């Protein structure tokens, strides 16, 4: 029976390192405050006007393609996961396609934020298992630093995020019990506004539950900036940290166990767990609850911050390069993010 596997993997992070001390120069924060709450020490920022989400994605993709033993011409489908595209539209998938000379093949953009890579992996898995495609390029890339609030007001969000990209090539395999064993995807829109970037948007005056979002006094509604948005500084990401943390530490263990139990495994069978790098405290809480030892977990949020859709492929690639992912290893990926969305994937490497 045909299965899919990760045939090649690569990542790219910008050269510019931004430390917690750097952020403390522009907002009321400190290295101690940030590390205590998030575990982050530094992050990378892309070079504006020279780098974009798609160029970073292409840099990671080139490495993944080379490691897969193919060329760009062999790729027959692109999946691009990001919440920070180059343009509002079109998506970054076609821009990457143009940069890499892969014109003519399909390019799918997905918007599942921190769960984007796991969602994309599930989509790629179905395409390959069905025999529709042989080489699917899956990219997760983010350029967060161009849209953050670098003031004390925005510090709770801004200190968390960084820029970067990761990519994998998904290919078919006929080896029994190898490759992507299963993927598990979930969502709960009731918490959509707990972690969101709502303006500018088309929701002016819309009631959600008992709350009202948007600007009903706008004559034309919609997807453009208004004076009131500038007055309220309502064009930056918003996060209710406690609500996100509470939901994440509940759903992370559930979806990990779903992946393990679906394949007849338990946490002690894992060789490596790679969580989405949302917050080191969340990862440590989940790890302790699952009873997974330190040497079987890969965290790199300390160096890169939360790179959203890019965080899992960056971490997985780093782990692979460090020799922590070997042939035959059982690897679990899991993510939780805005939407709320969450998911997991179990892989026999």
Q: How far apart are CA 4 and CA 233, in angstroms?
A: 45
For residue 271, CA distances in Å to 2, 9, 34, 38, 41 come to: 24, 18, 30, 25, 27
Choosing from 203, 276, 299, 317, the catalytic residue is 276
- Identify whether 203 is a catalytic site residue: no
Q: How far apart are CA 194 and CA 302, in angstroms?
A: 24
In the chain, which ranges are continuous DSSP H helix?
A: 20-24, 31-38, 53-67, 92-99, 116-129, 155-158, 227-232, 241-262, 280-290, 301-304, 311-321
Contacts of 68 (CB under 8 A, 6+ apart): 7, 8, 135, 169, 171
- Identify whether 276 is a catalytic site residue: yes
Q: Which two tokens mark 38? A: 């998030």
Q: Which two tokens mark 70? A: 């193919």
Q: Which two tokens mark 189? A: 């829109």
Q: Is 88 exposed, middle or buried (0-12, 13-18, 19+ CB in 10 A)?
A: exposed
CA angle 226, 228, 231 (to 5 degrees): 120
- Identify whether 184 is a catalytic site residue: no
Q: Which two tokens mark 8? A: 């090649």
Given its phi and psi angles, is residue 94 left (phi above 0), alpha (psi -120 to 50 degrees) or beta?
alpha
Cβ–Cβ under 8 Å, residues 346 and 179: no
Q: How far apart are CA 204 and CA 214, in angstroms?
A: 4
Choosing from 144, 306, 317, 332, the catalytic residue is 306
Choosing from 112, 114, 135, 300, the catalytic residue is 114
For residue 96, CA distances in Å to 1, 85, 92, 236 come to: 32, 11, 6, 26
Would you please indicate which residues are annotated as catalytic (active-site) residues?
114, 276, 306
């Amino acid at each position: 029976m045909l299965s899919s596997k990760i045939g090649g993997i690569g990542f790219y992070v910008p050269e510019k390192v931004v430390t917690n001390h750097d952020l403390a120069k522009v907002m009321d924060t400190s290295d101690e405050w940030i590390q205590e709450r998030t575990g982050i020490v530094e992050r990378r920022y892309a070079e504006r006007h020279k780098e974009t989400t798609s160029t970073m994605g292409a840099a990671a993709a080139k490495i993944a393609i080379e490691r897969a033993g193919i060329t760009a011409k062999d790729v027959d489908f692109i999946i691009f996961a990001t919440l920070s595209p180059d343009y509002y539209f079109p998506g970054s998938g076609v821009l990457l396609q143009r940069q890499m000379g892969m014109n003519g093949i399909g390019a799918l953009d997905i918007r599942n934020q921190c769960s984007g890579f796991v969602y994309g992996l599930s989509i790629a898995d179905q395409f390959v298992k069905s025999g529709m495609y042989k080489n699917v390029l899956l990219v997760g890339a983010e350029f967060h630093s161009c849209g953050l609030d670098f003031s004390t007001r925005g510090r709770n969000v801004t200190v968390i995020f960084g820029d970067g990209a990761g990519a994998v090539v998904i290919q078919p395999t006929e080896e029994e019990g190898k490759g992507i064993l299963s993927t598990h995807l979930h969502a709960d829109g009731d918490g959509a506004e707990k972690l969101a970037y709502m303006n500018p948007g088309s929701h002016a005056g819309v009631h959600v539950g008992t709350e009202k979002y948007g600007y009903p006094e706008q004559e034309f509604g919609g997807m453009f900036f208004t004076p009131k948005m500038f007055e309220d500084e309502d064009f930056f990401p918003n996060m209710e940290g406690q609500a996100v943390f509470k939901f994440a530490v509940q759903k992370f263990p559930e979806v990990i166990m779903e992946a393990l139990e679906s394949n007849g495994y338990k946490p002690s069978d894992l060789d490596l767990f790679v969580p989405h790098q949302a917050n080191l405290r969340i990862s440590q809480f989940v790890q302790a609850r699952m009873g997974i030892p330190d040497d079987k977990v890969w965290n790199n949020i300390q160096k890169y911050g939360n790179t959203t859709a890019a965080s899992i492929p960056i971490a997985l690639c780093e782990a692979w390069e460090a020799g922590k992912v070997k042939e035959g290893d059982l690897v679990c990926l899991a993510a939780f993010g805005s939407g709320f969305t969450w998911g997991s994937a179990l892989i026999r490497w």
